[in-house]
Amino acid sequence: MLILEGIIPMKSFMDENFLLSNPTAVKLFHSYAKDLPIIDYHCHIQQSEIRQNKNFTNLTQLWLAADHYKWRAMRSCGVAEHFITGNATDYDKFLAWAKIMPQLIGNPLYHWTHLELQRYFNIHDILNEANAGKIWLTANKLLAGGCLSVNAIIARSKVEVICTTDDPLDDLADHIALKEAGNQLQVLPSFRPDKALALNAQGYLGWIDKLRVVTNLEIENYEQFLAALLVRIDFFDAVGCKVADHGMNYVPFAETNRDEVSAIFKQVLSGHSSSELDETKFRCHTLIWLAKEYAARAWAMQLHMNVTRNNNSQMLAKLGPDTGFDAVNDAPLAMPLSRLLDAMNHAGLPKTILYSLNHTDNYVLGTLLGCFQTHEARGKMQLGSGWWFNDQRDGMEEQLKALANLGALGTFIGMLTDSRSFLSYTRHEYFRRILCNLIGSWVENGEYPADEVELKKLIQNISYYNAKNYFAF
């Protein structure tokens, strides 16, 4: 154990009791949370790589190739784009990542990096420029041996369910093949119709053309458009889909009716653009219709809100979307979301999970949840886990405390990876440690009984069972 100036004993770096600051937390994590399976109900991994059981050639391909979290950190430390998304060698990209590690104190990437090295490579060294070469060789040797193929990583992580993110046009061939293979792992599609709602997006009419081909239906009006979407919803349902997912920069609500929306859609089909208000009306009306269809199939609906995307137009033109140039939005939320949920409730409100990238919205969402809870499902309305920029200790604790203060924490469906990396399952461990530490501190402070039976049930439900039951996996 290190000693600071011979006075203050310090905990070892990221040891077995990492983030566990009290004896109750240690007990809860190691006895009840640590070894539970994982249900990853929202992620961005490629199902084709699961079907292929892909083997990665080196740590950069596995770790850095699609991780815009790491890319943002590297840019913040002055790393040239050549070593991030450019043509530098894989080793030079890894070395650039290793060099900046000491600068990332307090950043969850520092913890995630070392959790992943420990859990998958049994590497307990602290990554930096000096030992980058050694870690590179050790990790790559394991990768070359095939013991860390995609399926091996998933099995080692005790993952039971993976819900991918899929456009309505997707043929779901990989999902179907994985299902037919009889693997115990469930790899299920999630229905994400963002492109169907992006009326003014470049290429929208091209997307509609593809929808025509996929469904073999005419789409010359709004009713036919909905009929085509319904065909795809039924197809996704047949393949095992249980979750819909919507990414929304803002909450689209505007008073409208079917005739007005039909006219707006007809105008767009004829090649004319629509106003922002017209697009909002179209989005709103279609979302309400979609929610009704989700409810009829017992799907859960996820709404990811308050993002401002692609803020750097130069880098968008150079690299495309999802490359690290998104940020938190502060668009109005309370009133439009209230009215949207109320309209959905009249038509048919499914189980719903609400996320906002703006952590200041936790109390808005937490109070709205209580307005639409029913006996139809335990915790029907959910405050989604700390998402994206809130996927860190402070963000998770804020979310957990808000839910505890305003609702029923014991019904919470827990963590997801929201990741493009197969090594990100350690985020579930990270979350479970934070959860156990928070609840352990409440117990030791006399704020909750030291009832091991109830505490075991609480921790295991939030970590695993609530999600399993909520989605009926």
CATH number at residue 253: 3.20.20.140
Query: Is residue 11 in a domain?
Result: no
- Number of other CB atoms surrounding residue 302 within 10 Å: 25
Are residue 198 and residue 66 in the same domain, yes or no?
Answer: no
Query: Is residue 97 in a domain?
Result: yes
Query: Is residue 6 in a domain?
Result: no
Residue 72 token pair: 């943002």
Are residue 174 and residue 116 in the same domain, yes or no?
Answer: no
146 dihedral zone (left: phi>0; alpha: psi -120 to 50; beta): left
Are residue 136 and residue 191 in the same domain, yes or no?
Answer: no
Measured distance CA(433)–CA(234) in Å, rounded: 39
Are residue 446 and residue 381 in the same domain, yes or no?
Answer: yes
From first to last of the 473 residues of the chain, give the pLDDT tens digit: 445 555 566 789 999 999 999 999 999 999 999 999 999 999 999 999 999 999 999 999 999 998 999 999 999 999 999 999 999 999 999 999 999 999 999 999 999 999 999 999 999 999 999 999 999 999 999 999 989 999 999 999 999 999 999 999 999 999 999 999 988 899 999 999 999 999 999 999 999 999 999 999 999 999 999 999 999 999 999 999 999 999 999 999 999 999 999 999 999 999 998 999 999 999 999 999 999 999 999 999 999 999 999 999 999 999 999 999 999 999 999 999 999 999 999 999 999 999 999 999 999 999 999 999 999 899 999 999 999 999 999 999 999 999 999 999 999 999 999 998 999 999 999 999 999 999 999 999 999 999 999 999 999 999 999 999 999 99
Measured distance CA(26)–CA(30) in Å, rounded: 6
* Cβ pair 225, 278 in contact under 8 A: no
Domain ends where: 100, 133, 148? 148
Are residue 191 and residue 72 in the same domain, yes or no?
Answer: no
Domain ends where: 112, 128, 148? 148
Question: Of 217, 88, 240, nearest to 161 (Cα)?
Answer: 240
- Give the domain extent around 136: 56-148
Are residue 215 and residue 359 in the same domain, yes or no?
Answer: yes
The dihedral over CA atoms of 12, 18, 20, 21, expressed in degrees to the nearest 10, equals 30
Q: Which residue in the block uniquely carries the two structure tokens 């934070």?
A: 434
Measured distance CA(94)–CA(14) in Å, rounded: 22
Domain ends where: 148, 179, 213? 148
* Cβ pair 304, 355 in contact under 8 A: yes
Give me the sign of the Cα torsion angle 369, 370, 376, 382.
positive
Measured distance CA(247)–CA(269) in Å, rounded: 23
Are residue 33 and residue 94 in the same domain, yes or no?
Answer: no
- What pTM did the predictor assign? 0.96
- Number of other CB atoms surrounding residue 320 within 10 Å: 10
CB-side neighbour CA atoms (13 Å) of 196: 28
Are residue 173 and residue 269 in the same domain, yes or no?
Answer: yes
Residue 26 token pair: 């240690």
Query: Is residue 239 in a domain?
Result: yes
How do strand 186-188 and strand 159-163 relate by DSSP bridges?
parallel
Are residue 139 and residue 283 in the same domain, yes or no?
Answer: no
pLDDT at residue 146 in the model: 87
* Total length of the chain: 473
Q: Where are the alpha helices (H) located in 58-107, listed in sequence order?
A: 59-63, 68-76, 90-100
DSSP state, residue 154: H
Q: Which residues contact 325 (CB under 8 A, 6 or more apart)?
A: 309, 310, 311, 312, 315, 316
Q: Which residue in the block uniquely carries the two structure tokens 């600068």?
A: 103
Query: Is residue 13 in a domain?
Result: no
Are residue 287 and residue 407 in the same domain, yes or no?
Answer: yes
Phi then psi for residue 445, to 5 deg, are -95, 5
**Distance of alpha carbon 446 from its chain centroid, rounded?**
34
Angstrom CA distances, 303 to 151, 220, 300, 379, stand at: 29, 29, 10, 16
pLDDT at residue 183 in the model: 84
Are residue 64 and residue 192 in the same domain, yes or no?
Answer: no
Q: How many domains does the chain have?
A: 2
Phi then psi for residue 417, to 5 deg, are -90, -35
Question: Of 348, 165, 335, nearest to 245 (Cα)?
Answer: 165
Query: Is residue 61 in a domain?
Result: yes
* Cβ pair 305, 246 in contact under 8 A: no
* CATH code assigned at 95: 1.10.2020.10
Measured distance CA(362)–CA(354) in Å, rounded: 10
Residue 319 token pair: 């690299």
The dihedral over CA atoms of 171, 175, 176, 179, expressed in degrees to the nearest 10, equals -170
pLDDT at residue 1 in the model: 43
